[in-house]
Amino acid sequence: MRTRLQIGWSPAEPTPLDEGVDEQIDRARALLDGRRIVALTGAGISTDSGIPDYRSPGAPQRTPMTLEMFLSSPEFRRHYWARNHLGWRHMDAAQPNTAHHALTDLQRQGRLSGVITQNVDMLHTKAGTRRVVELHGCYGRVRCLECGWQISRHQLAHDLEQINRGFTERIRGRGAIEVAPDADAAIDDTSDFTMIDCPRCDGIVKPDIVYFGESVPKPTVQQAFSMVDDSDALLVVGSSLTVMSGLRFARHARRTGKTLVIVNRGATRADELADLKIDHLASVVLPALAA
């Protein structure tokens, strides 16, 4: 299954926070009580950790990276890696917020079996959640598209610093840098940046992230479906389910008779399927569910 880029997509329209959220949380508790839950999370769960997203109300319009763009030319990849060399540090420094910790609490209580996440920020792992399926990979690994060679993002950053001495300081000296949801920093002047190829085969190296237009590995998809099948309820958090890579799990949960609860700011593509939709902040709703 390929992730599908929504041409001309834009952030969700701002909506007022649901009034009577306490009553809705009580309803969610009743729906989920005694059920084995699996969570499906998107970028909206991480915004309170300082990581921007693409679709939440008020988010600026951004064009996500596509596989076609990344492979288009060596010049584009050099420009991309220069931006990523700065932007990934912002994601690496981010810490889990109360919503991530609430899911870990639910797991420790024996109520949550695991998490399927569309995020690449590794915040569920940082929060101590076990059995996390990263649908779209993670920022912390880099791999060769030709031979599969891998390197940690930390080690690659060290190597790039040695090759590009002074680059980071020069860009940072200009002031604050905007960072996109995929750890891509918004800078233009990258002409003096040098990128490395795979030391084993001279192939193209790429973050271990599934870009738009790229297929989610089949074993990853199968593992995620197995988690949903082994659960009684699917809790969607912080995802508009715009792309099929997430929406298919909500549809599968409904087809197989699972309870479906959605917590998200703004509309999702599965609102009509849900037993309950709470239009509120995950950092408010999830700690209350775990209390």
Q: Which residues are annotated as a binding site?
A: 144, 147, 198, 201
**Residue 124 is among the residues annotated as catalytic for this protein:** no
Q: Which residues are annotated as a binding site for Zn(2+)?
A: 144, 147, 198, 201
Residue 189, phi then psi, degrees to nearest 5? -85, 95
214 vs 3: CA distance, rounded Å: 6
Packing angle, helices 98-108 and 282-290, rounded to 10: 20
Give the active site residue among 136, 158, 252, 280: 136
Instruction: Identify whether the C-beta of residue 96 lies closer than 8 Å to the C-beta of residue 48.
Output: no
As annotated, the active-site residues are 136
